[in-house]
């Protein structure tokens, strides 16, 4: 009797494996993504990477990565090279953001989440003017209107010198000249018609909004952190005026885009946290951000866009409850070096989408504990995949002090886990 029961059990297991194999072959990137973010059963999760530094890719070409597509010659050491886990294109700022293909092809990554080629920020952009220049650095006013000092190879963040907005007159002028929908067609960029056509029967996830949409991150672009923090107390009505306008502006723009196609999720950029946690208090969030998030997410929900994902670096565990309260359903990229504990986050938020969270720092040159660290990270990832709502990739852009050997070892092992770990099955 026990023998026949074991035979029946084995046949059931083999049948289930066959069904999963057939399902894997029939599902495209969009299918898998929607299964995962909706916490539905899936034969696997998505295979994505967030992105890389330009210097990282060039190092890897020298160390064994086959260069079939390459990266543009003008990409510097510190330039961002997008992976499929980063919204692409980022046309409101950087129409030239390059989507990496050699690594994606080698590791058989799924198609990434895409946005339409549109401009939802300044139109026209500011004229880029170089004010000072040395062999290594430049002082310039960039196309975002920010005066900054940069290293020419972008080896580190810019040194911010001045911003477009100092007072209400500056804001009113900016709205009149660059931040309105008076000439809507000018905000549809090269490739818009082709992107709309492609979206009709797409096999990739399509997002709406994205960088610079957000009610903290966008104000940092406009006036800088110091002035913003002072304005919360010195002129709160002005901050609310800006966020109310931006909320209405982005809703109106989204409404126009929804006339052309549907979208799978909303996406916001904030970078509202550092290693120590939130850069503002919960009270500031609830007064100056929450009402506008609720309004815009309410609009998205009314148009059958169920999920909203927020991009923020830093320690975000104390931010998640605030975001959930306004309707946000997920986040990325969950930097491990900031102290984020993904298993704890999953326990406390069983229905919250987590994207990213692999500690890229363990792959860096000189880590004598890499084998143990990698085993621990991948073990955690396996548990998270099983629970649903999780897409694993590096917790930010992979830096140039990661060798090709270390990266490819990690990626092969992660792919193997993804291919052999069903979601909620």
Please give the residue range of the domain that contains residue 153.
127-163
Q: 3-class DSSP state for residue 144?
A: coil
98 and 109 in a single domain? The answer is: yes
Number of domains in the chain: 2
68 and 194 in a single domain? The answer is: yes
157 and 25 in a single domain? The answer is: no
139 and 265 in a single domain? The answer is: no
156 and 199 in a single domain? The answer is: no
Torsion of CA 242, 248, 254, 258, to 10 degrees: 180
277 and 397 in a single domain? The answer is: yes
Q: Would strands 277-278 and 308-312 be described as parallel, antiparallel, or unpaired?
A: unpaired
Asked if residue 358 lies in contact with residue 394, where contact means CB atoms within 8 angstroms, the answer is yes
Q: Would strands 129-133 and 137-141 be described as parallel, antiparallel, or unpaired?
A: antiparallel
Is 424 within the bounds of a domain? no
Is 243 within the bounds of a domain? yes
* H helix count then E strand count, the chain: 15, 15
238 and 382 in a single domain? The answer is: yes
Note the pTM of the prediction, 2 decimals: 0.93
Phi/psi for 324 (5° steps) reads -60, -35
159 and 281 in a single domain? The answer is: no
Q: Please provide the DSSP assignment of 387-410 as one string.
A: HSSEE--BSSPBPTTB-HHHHHHH
6 and 54 in a single domain? The answer is: yes
Q: What is the pLDDT along the chain (425 residues), one digit of tens a residue?
A: 544 445 445 555 445 555 455 556 689 999 999 999 999 999 999 999 999 999 999 999 999 999 999 999 999 999 999 999 999 998 998 788 999 999 999 999 999 999 999 999 999 999 999 999 999 999 999 999 999 999 999 999 999 999 999 999 999 999 999 999 998 999 999 999 999 999 999 999 999 999 999 999 999 999 999 999 999 999 999 999 999 999 999 999 999 999 999 999 999 999 999 999 999 999 999 999 999 999 999 999 999 999 999 999 999 999 999 999 999 999 999 999 999 999 999 999 999 999 999 999 999 999 999 999 999 999 999 999 999 999 999 999 999 999 999 999 999 999 999 999 999 97
Look at the block and give the residue holding tokens 């291919």: 419
Is 8 within the bounds of a domain? yes
Is 425 within the bounds of a domain? no
192 and 260 in a single domain? The answer is: yes
- Closest to 420 (Cα-Cα) out of 44, 121, 55: 44
264 and 231 in a single domain? The answer is: yes
145 and 46 in a single domain? The answer is: no
Domain stops at, among 163, 182, 216: 163
Is 364 within the bounds of a domain? yes
Is 341 within the bounds of a domain? yes
Q: Residue 105 and residue 87: Cα distance in Å, rounded?
A: 18
The total number of residues written for the chain in this structure: 425
Cis-peptide, bond into residue 47, ω within 30° of zero:
no
Torsion of CA 264, 266, 271, 272, to 10 degrees: -130
């Amino acid at each position: 009797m026990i023998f026949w029961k074991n035979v029946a059990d084995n046949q059931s297991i083999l049948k289930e494996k066959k069904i999963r194999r057939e399902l894997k072959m029939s599902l495209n990137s969009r299918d898998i993504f929607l299964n995962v973010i909706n916490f539905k059963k899936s034969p696997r999760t998505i295979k994505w990477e967030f992105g890389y530094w330009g210097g990282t890719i060039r190092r890897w070409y020298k160390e064994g990565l086959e260069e079939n597509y390459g990266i543009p010659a003008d990409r510097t050491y510190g330039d961002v090279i997008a992976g499929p886990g980063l919204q692409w294109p980022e046309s409101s700022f950087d129409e030239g953001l390059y989507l990496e293909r050699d690594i994606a092809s080698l590791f058989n990554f799924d198609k990434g989440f895409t946005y339409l080629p549109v401009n939802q920020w300044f139109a026209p952009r500011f004229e880029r003017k170089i004010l000072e220049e040395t062999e290594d650095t430049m002082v310039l006013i960039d196309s975002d209107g920010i005066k900054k000092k940069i290293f020419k190879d972008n080896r580190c963040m810019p040194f911010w010198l001045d911003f477009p907005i100092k007072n209400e007159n500056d804001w009113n002028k900016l709205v009149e000249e660059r931040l309105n929908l008076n000439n809507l067609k000018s905000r549809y960029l090269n490739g818009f018609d082709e992107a709309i056509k492609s979206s009709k029967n797409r096999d990739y996830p399509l997002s709406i909004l994205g960088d610079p949409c957000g009610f903290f991150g966008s104000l940092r672009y406009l006036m800088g952190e110091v002035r913003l923090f002072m304005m919360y107390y010195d002129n709160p009505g002005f901050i609310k005026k800006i966020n109310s306008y931006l909320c209405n502006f982005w809703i109106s723009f989204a409404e126009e885009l929804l006339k052309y196609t549907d979208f799978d999720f909303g996406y916001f950029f904030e970078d509202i946290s550092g290693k120590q946690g939130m850069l503002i208090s919960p009270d500031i969030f609830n007064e100056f951000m929450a009402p506008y998030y609720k309004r815009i997410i309410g609009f998205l929900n009314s148009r059958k866009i169920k999920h909203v994902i927020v991009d923020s670096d830093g320690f975000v565990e104390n931010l998640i409850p605030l975001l959930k309260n306004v309707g946000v359903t997920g986040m990325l990229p969950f930097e491990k070096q900031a102290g984020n504990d993904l298993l704890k986050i999953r326990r406390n938020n069983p229905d919250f989408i987590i994207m990213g969270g692999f500690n890229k720092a363990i792959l860096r040159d000189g880590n004598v504990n890499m084998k143990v660290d990698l085993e621990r990270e991948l073990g955690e990832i396996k548990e998270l995949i099983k629970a649903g709502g999780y897409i694993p990739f590096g917790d930010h852009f992979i830096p140039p002090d990661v060798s090709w050997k270390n990266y490819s070892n990690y990626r092969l092992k992660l792919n193997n886990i993804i291919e052999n770990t069903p979601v909620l099955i």
